[in-house]
Structure 1
Amino acid sequence: MQRIVVTDKDGVEVLKAGENADHDPAATSILTTIFSQTAQQSEKVEGLGKTQSVLLSYDRCYVLQIGMEMLVISILAGKDAKIGTIMALVPSLKDMSLLGLQN
């Protein structure tokens, strides 16, 4: 993984870590907007249910975005990343989020 950024639903950064942690916040805001709009529109398709995560594949990287109540976690990984392994963490991340909200 190259970077993890946690934002609110409007794309405002709450927490960031990893390589290039000083990245352009405008890019993060744009990616969060893409996630929010994709989630909102896809939930209109009958039978799909609520969007859990979205995987974006680009020429040079993957972006995995996970919706968690009022937050969005964006994980940026290189093309050589084992994206299936990273995606397998999604349920654990969502469980940790719920534990934090209960305290």
Structure 2
Amino acid sequence: MVISGGENVYPAEVESILYGHSAVIEVAVIGLPDEKWGEAVTAVAVVKQGSTLELEELREFASQSLAKYKLPSRLYFLDELPRNPAGKVQKFKIKDALL
């Protein structure tokens, strides 16, 4: 769970919406330290080859289904999300790489 500005944000809820964007192949939502909000809702995406994606475009897309405080305030890109042998995304590795 990401706690941003005292609000609980469930990554799975945000991810399920972001997966609906046409440029997104995979996405993980994590919380990164933020001086103002405590944690910033952060999307880490793998996009389709030849596609581009901007933070504002993703926020606009997700704003149709999510409250404003749940929208990602940061966006990073990876070629692939790190996974364990069982296929589960290792979000701690993503967070370590971005800090």
TM-score, normalized by the shorter chain, greater than 0.5 = no
Larger helix proportion, structure 1 or 2?
Answer: 1
TM-score by length of 1: 0.31
Q: Return the index of the structure with the highest Cα Rg.
A: 1
